[in-house]
Amino acid sequence: MVSDSSLSAFIASNPDARELKRALAVQMTLLGLKQGAIQAILGVQSSFISTWKQRYLAEGVACFRLGYKGSQPYLSADQRTQINAWLATQSHPSVASLASYIQTQFGVVFRSSQSYYDLLAQAGYSWKKTQARHPKTDPQQGLDKREAIKKN
């Protein structure tokens, strides 16, 4: 059996709330509190208390840790930095050019276009409007319109 000092140290280390609830339930049972009181204090079932007590006695403090760590990202932070630097060199990046760059440089193809949109947004671009102005606009027409307004 693992000593109660390791359990107290685990609780004092400010773990995740779910881990803390597990450890507190076990600590309270080891201190001699009745399961009814523990249920009222922590808002758990008696099966929760007995399950975590058994696991603690068998495995020690490590049993309280959450098992899920999340998925690994497709791109590292360094690769994202490289992509932002590349986007800064582009005058009008598009989703297609970004996808091509990521595939050739890093061998990654995202299933969803949203990932490319997010990368463009991080670099300060919108996937809807990556151009500085509309390609069909005529700058001279705008100047002529301004002159006409000034004359009136």
Confidence at residue 3, expressed as pLDDT on a 0 to 100 scale: 55
Distance separating alpha carbons of residues 68 and 22, to the nearest angstrom: 16
Distance separating alpha carbons of residues 117 and 98, to the nearest angstrom: 10
Show Cβ contacts of residue 39 under 8 Å, excluding neighbours closer than 6 positions. Answer: 45, 46, 49
How is residue 136 annotated by DSSP? Answer: T
Task: Kindly report, residue by residue over 55-105, the tens digit of the pLDDT.
Answer: 999 999 989 888 877 778 889 989 999 999 999 888 878 889 999 999 999
Task: Kindly report, residue by residue over 107-119, the tens digit of the pLDDT.
Answer: 999 998 899 999 9
Distance separating alpha carbons of residues 64 and 102, to the nearest angstrom: 40
Between 141 and 29, whose confidence is greater?
A: 29
pTM, full prediction = 0.47
1 has pLDDT over 70: no
Confidence at residue 131, expressed as pLDDT on a 0 to 100 scale: 54
Confidence at residue 13, expressed as pLDDT on a 0 to 100 scale: 83
**Per-residue 3-state assignment (H helix, E strand, C coil) for 15-32:** CCHHHHHHHHHHHHHHCC
Task: Kindly report, residue by residue over 17-41, the tens digit of the pLDDT.
Answer: 889 999 999 999 999 999 999 999 9
**In the chain, where the domains are located:** 4-64, 77-122
- Tell the residue number behind the tokens 């597990």, with chain if given: 22
Tokens representing 31? 């201190």
